[in-house]
Structure 1
């Protein structure tokens, strides 16, 4: 399964998402994670970048809701413990299970 982590350098949250994705890749050898730095607003618009970090499975942002804004900003994710800068391991696993189904 192809998973892409889109981020920009000024947002520290992508590093936590990267650590979690790396841990999942160890658990599931079929998960291949690539990283892509988004550097400009034009690039963000072209990619449909919904903020850093964005996680795409098969080219689809699996956490983007309808009307999600595009741009160079830090992204927040609703988690069971409140808003956070990255999805939880359980949320990531659930999205990957859905993508596989």
Structure 2
């Protein structure tokens, strides 16, 4: 199983996203993740990258997005309005759902 965090160069949320993902993975009993920096439109298209940060398990986005892949910031829905990162519980739930589907 591979856990990947994908960000764009100089993403202002990369460090916080990495800490959040590592915590959520640890709570799910998973150790280790890879942090990839996506720096071209071609790479974004080949990875199905829909903005930074993107959280993936086995190459599949934990929060599937519609639209074309792009080198841009990403917004996650939250009860109190859009945010640049998902909350811990949403990320944990997405990880668990992905693990069930394996």
Q: Work out the number of aligned pairs and report it.
A: 100
CA RMSD of aligned residues (A): 1.6
User: What CA deviation, in whole Å up to 9, does each residue of 1:23-68 have, x standing for no partner?
Assistant: 2233344243111011111111121110100111111012023x33
Q: Distance in 1 between matches of 2:84 and 2:15?
A: 10
Taking structure 1 as the reference length, the TM-score comes to 0.86
Taking structure 2 as the reference length, the TM-score comes to 0.86
Gaps of 5+ in 2: none
Q: Distance in 2 between matches of 1:87 and 1:69?
A: 21
Question: Residues 31-50 of structure 1: matches in 2 within 5 Å?
Answer: 31-50=31-50
Q: Is contact 1:5-1:18 (8 Å) kept?
A: yes
Gaps of 5+ in 1: none
